Copies of this chain bind each other. A is one copy, B any other.
């Protein structure tokens, strides 16, 4: 497997991240081209980057950005005051799929959550992503919950 490094995203990574979000069967319909939407993406990036509970991650292979995900570390009362790690917006660049980079990215994320004292990692995946259950279940995730969304 290619050597990967994982690090906090910088503003310079933003076009590559947005390109990955858009180059996706579901994302294609809801993202805008970088040129059209760059201000809304920049604003969101600034807010994520300023929040100590957020970690927007990029995975690099050599000089190329090959993956991304967003981690949020959430304090909560339930489960005796357990901290949770929330995973959102997982993507691997199209040309690099099928090489288990996603597995490496999630394994990194799980360890990062553990090192920050989280006692559970949680995520949801759109039911239309037919390959996702096998992927997450191989990593040990259990499909114990239903995921609801309400667009405003």
Which residues does A use to contact B, with CB under 8 Å? 14, 17-18, 21, 27, 30-32, 37, 40-41, 43-45, 47-48, 51, 53-54, 56, 70, 72, 74-83, 86, 88-89, 110, 113-114, 118-127, 132-133, 136, 139-152
Contacts and interface: CB of A to CB of B under 8 A. Distances in A.
A54 B75 contact: yes
Contacts of A47: 75
A148 B127 contact: no
A45 B76 CA distance: 7
Contacts of A43: 81
A143 B45 CA distance: 28
23 contacts: A27-B78, A41-B80, A41-B81, A44-B76, A45-B77, A47-B75, A48-B77, A51-B75, A54-B75, A70-B76, A74-B86, A74-B88, A76-B88, A76-B89, A119-B152, A120-B150, A122-B150, A123-B147, A136-B148, A141-B150, A143-B148, A144-B147, A145-B147
Residue of A88, A133, A147 with highest tally of chain B CB at under 10 A: A147
